[in-house]
Amino acid sequence: MKALSVSRFNALWLVLMAVMIATRFKHFGDMLHLPDASMAVFFLGGLTLRRHWTFVVMVLLAVALDWVSISYAGVSDFCITLAYSFLPLAYAVLWYAGRWFAPRMSGSAMSYAGAFMVALLAAIGSFAISNGSFYWLGGRYANPHMSEYLSRLWQWGPLFVGTTMGYVATALALQAVVSRVATPANAQGGARA
């Protein structure tokens, strides 16, 4: 995947920030709110934006949104524990997996499938970090033990990873369509006579 022009970089960055803002307040979603897209936003940001400073700004945005939602929107602070400090690491797994895969994005079906698989592995790793740190370090469970942790991992993992992959699949499909439409016919193997 070639580097984005400044205008495309800025437009995509604004879209990713808007998606995070629009979905972060209600983490599980309901009839009026979409599920949280943050994990997908971090993978897609790494895949397309790639810049380290942009990752830092996106983490700061996530923290600011959490603060606003807890302070002013009535969202519970149950998840704000010592484990919250592991979220940048969990998001870094997603961002840098996307960044690592970015040079392999060629626009072929295989590269999109590869991006999807890397996103899946990164989402699993990211969720394991965030969920594991919360379970083991959050102080919310009196006697943590491995069987309960694995049970909770299995209970919540499919929801978070599945939501992430739904957003990633949608974004990759959109990117494939836009790329196809934006590419002149002669660049797609020649115009038909």
Where do the structural domains in the chain lie, given as residue ranges?
A: 6-182
Question: For a pLDDT cut of 90, what percent of the chain falls above it?
Answer: 55
Which carries the bigger pLDDT value, residue 111 or residue 5? 111
List the single range of 18-32, 88-102, 126-140 with lowest mean pLDDT. 18-32
pTM, two decimals, is 0.87
Q: What integer best gives the mean pLDDT of the chain?
A: 87
Tokens 């995070």: give the residue. 20
pLDDT surpasses 70 at 33: no
Query: What burial class does residue 65 get, using C-beta atoms within 10 Å of its C-beta: 0-12 exposed, 13-18 middle, 19+ buried?
Result: buried
Residue 65 confidence (pLDDT)? 92
> What count of other Cβ atoms lies within 10 Å of the Cβ of residue 189?
7
The pLDDT assigned to 28 comes to 46
- Give the mean model confidence (pLDDT) for residues 124-149: 87
- On whether the CB atoms of residues 108 and 122 are closer than 8 A, the answer is no
Contacts made by residues 19-25, CB under 8 angstroms, sequence distance 24+? 19/167, 20/58, 20/61, 20/62, 20/65, 21/61, 21/65, 24/62, 24/65, 24/66, 24/69, 25/65, 25/69, 25/73, 25/75
- In Å, how far from its chain's centre is CA 35? 12
Q: Which of 13-22, 77-86, 107-116 has the lowest mean pLDDT?
A: 77-86
> Any idea which of 20-24, 71-75, 86-90, 157-161 has the lowest mean pLDDT?
71-75
